[in-house]
Amino acid sequence: MKLKSLQQYLLITPQVLVLLLFLILPIITIFVISFWDFNGYTMTPSFTLVNYKDIFSPTYFATYLNNFKFTALVWLFTLVIGFPVAYFLAFYVKSLRWQIILFLICTIPFLTSNIIRMISWIPFLGREGILNKALMSLNLIDAPLDIFLFSNFSVVLAMVHLYVLFMIVPIFNSMVRIEPSLISAARDAGASGFQVLKEVIVPLSAPGIAIGSIFIVTLVMGEFITVRLMSGGQTSSVGYLMSNQIRSLQYPLAAANAVILLVITLAIVVGILRVVDIRKEL
């Protein structure tokens, strides 16, 4: 019995070591450095709360609000796009072969670099871009609009484009597990199409929506490259802020922001897990 128990511990030892070395230890290091002092030139090991006090200044507070705004908007739009796409693939495409083919078509754009996909929006959204020219040719506008590029609009659009697949996949995975007999029984009981969607499909798809939401929240909360490129430096996020702090060698302040961002993200994820049980999807 002891030998079997020892073998079980030996089997999980590599995973535990990897987890400690590449996850737990870096988080602990960041947490410790967040309390160090920085005098503008060097950082000194100490215990100070100045870095955390600076985060609650109006400037930083506005940046965090901006982060929440991006996260909420990207989550909403990816859900609005992802749910109908997953619904169509799961219930309107009857052939497994065509489901696979159409699903692969959805994934093809995501095989390219994120940077390339972001940059591809610039000639489309610019003042002389395709969108402005199309609107002018339709006489909807008299002059090119600047709101499409290097703005919050372009940041959210690029993020939705980058991350919508992370919402489609788990929702589709939940929907294909729904027994057709449940939908047939609901229809036989006199339920309308909307009632079937509301009372059967949405509740049974909730774990997939929750998993997709976790993906979107964790990805967008730490985003900084998209914000930097698509906003043209005219807006900010916490990730972009930390990137600038690291470049200016303000490691303790960047570490404090990382700790706060991690705590907020974990709180959101825990809130999602408290609302929806995703164990059946794992």
Q: What is the CATH number of the domain that holds 59?
A: 1.10.3720.10
Residue 45: DSSP 8-state:
-
Enclosing domain of residue 59: 46-95+163-281
Single-letter amino acid code for the residue at 164: V
| 110 touches 160 (CB < 8 A) | no
The answer as to whether 102 is a domain residue is no
Please tell me the distance from the alpha carbon of residue 209 to that of residue 1, in angstroms, as a whole number: 43
Q: How many domains does the chain have?
A: 1
pLDDT in tens, the chain (282 residues): 566 667 777 777 888 898 899 989 999 999 999 999 888 777 888 888 888 988 888 878 889 999 999 999 999 999 999 999 999 988 888 788 888 888 888 888 778 888 888 888 888 888 888 888 888 888 888 888 888 888 899 999 999 999 999 999 999 999 988 888 888 888 888 888 888 888 889 999 999 999 999 999 999 998 888 898 888 878 888 988 898 888 888 999 999 999 999 999 999 999 999 888 777 655
Helix boundaries (H) for 138-201: 152-163, 165-175, 180-188, 193-196
Tell me the CA distances in angstroms from 224 to 116, 154, 243, 277, one per residue in order. Answer: 16, 14, 8, 31
The answer as to whether 101 is a domain residue is no
| 258 touches 146 (CB < 8 A) | no
Question: How long a stretch of residues is the chain?
Answer: 282
Residue 148: DSSP 8-state:
T
The answer as to whether 12 is a domain residue is no
The first and second tokens of residue 176, run together, are: 């294909």
